[in-house]
Amino acid sequence: MGVYKAEYIWMDGAEPTQKLRCKTKIVPIGQEPPIWGFDGSSTNQAQGHASDCVLRPVFTCPDPVRGGENKLVLCEVLLTDMTPHPTNTRAKCAEAAEKYKDHEMWFGIEQEYTFFEGIKPLGWPDNGFPAPQFGYYCGVGADEVFGRDIVEEHMDACLKAGLKFAGINAEVMPAQWEFQIGPLHGPAAADHMWIARWLLYRIAEDYGASATLAPKPVKGDWNGAGAHTNFSTRAMRSSIDACEAAAEALRGRHELHIANYGAGIEERLTGKHETCSYKQFKWGVSDRGASVRIPWQVAQDGKGYIEDRRPCANMDPYVVCRLITETVCSKVPA
Ligand code: ADP
Ligand code: MN
Ligand code: MN
Ligand code: MN
């Protein structure tokens, strides 16, 4: 009987930012990937004397790296009594999505990231810095763009895996890029994002590059990396008033969101480099210096979605989607 390779992927217990871990199980073709386990004492998820943690598959897709019958298996981590592990942020995200399912919340997440080769961003000179930021955003040409072959291979892989991938662009800082996932419901947007992140790390590995989600990878006059989170409820998709009410609801819990939008957020949300200071909350149409932006097209159409610009590149999409769902849906009628 034939077999396939199931790559189990899960979030570890690293602090302050959880990382991805993975390992392979050989499974007979025709069988679903089963519940499995791992050594939690090596991932900051258990003590050595009671080290077993449980992996429960939550999202499975074709493995575009290995091809064939092979699969990627995103898992949530459970305790051995089958309740969610304290590091399992998906469980609460799924709960919030279920509680407010009448709102039909959709998310579209923009993931910015930076390629590094050793200690410097990919393509940066050994001594000194590249030319100041200007020509790099959506640039073309060997003097403007670094890492495009990895970006293209990653995009193809995400499409082959069947992820809801929306697009890519080169970013403002050289060696910085973005891809977008969505729009998708509640935890699904985050599931797709975690798999897309894993594919990015895995594919960059073959090029000897690492992709970092650090929110301020280079100090000084260089852009940080964010994860703008676009969202809409059914009401927002039919009225601009609901879009504005959602933005106002976010104002009411600004500090809670800032505290959960990625470690190092103070370094990125300075009020410079297309950000609003983390100390302030403001929303506006087309305003890339606002915490929350209503896209021009949305104002024009009188309906659509809004963009929370505060989340950092290293945010946990389960946490961000849960917080936005709770904050907006508890204030704005479905
Ligand atoms: P920006 O202009 O900020 O760079 P992008 O084009 O990079 O915007 O990303 C926009 C994101 O918004 C995409 O991920 C897209 O899927 C998402 N999006 C579009 N419409 C909606 C909607 N109605 N609800 C939620 N997300 C949406
Ligand atoms: Mn974008
Ligand atoms: Mn961007
Ligand atoms: Mn954006």
Can you give the residue ranges of every domain in the chain?
3-88, 96-329
Give the separation between CA 72 and CA 277, rounded to whole angstroms: 39
Collapse the DSSP code of 236 into the 3-class scheme (helix H, G, I; strand E, B; otherwise coil) and give the result.
coil
Looking at residue 186, what is its pLDDT? 87
112 CB within 6 A, ligand 1: no
Say whether pLDDT at 1 is over 80. Answer: no
Looking at residue 48, what is its pLDDT? 86
Q: Minimal CA–CA distance to 113: which of 183, 219, 230, 210?
A: 210
Q: Minimal CA–CA distance to 178: which of 190, 189, 165?
A: 165
147 CB within 6 A, ligand 1: no
Looking at residue 248, what is its pLDDT? 98
C-alpha 309 – ligand 3 centre gap (Å): 10
pLDDT tens-place string over residues 13-56: 999 999 999 999 999 999 999 999 999 999 999 998 889 999 99
C-alpha 307 – ligand 4 centre gap (Å): 7
Strands (E), 157-289: 165-170, 176-185, 210-212, 229-232, 283-285
C-alpha 274 – ligand 3 centre gap (Å): 10
Neighbours of ion ligand 4 (CB under 5 A): 110, 228
327 CB within 6 A, ligand 1: no
Ligand nearest to the CA of 228: 4
* Mean pLDDT of the 146-173 span: 98
Chosen CATH of 3-88 out of 3.60.21.10, 3.10.20.70, 3.20.10.10, 2.40.30.130: 3.10.20.70
Residue 211: C-alpha distances to residues 113, 121, 122, 188, 203 (Å): 6, 9, 10, 23, 10
- DSSP letters, 62-100, are E-TTT-TT-EEEEEEEE-TTSSBPTT--HHHHHHHHHHT
Give the separation between CA 69 and CA 130, rounded to whole angstroms: 44
Looking at residue 225, what is its pLDDT? 98
Looking at residue 287, what is its pLDDT? 94
Looking at residue 283, what is its pLDDT? 98
Going by pLDDT thresholds of 50, 70 and 90, the confidence category of residue 144 is very high
Chosen CATH of 96-329 out of 3.10.20.30, 2.40.40.20, 3.40.605.10, 3.30.590.10: 3.30.590.10
Please confirm whether the linkage preceding 217 is cis (ω < 30° from 0): no
Give the separation between CA 234 and CA 238, rounded to whole angstroms: 7
Looking at residue 64, what is its pLDDT? 98
Strands (E), 200-291: 210-212, 229-232, 283-285
Nearest CA to ligand 1 atom 12: 108
With contact defined as beta carbons under 8 Å apart, do 221 and 133 qualify? yes
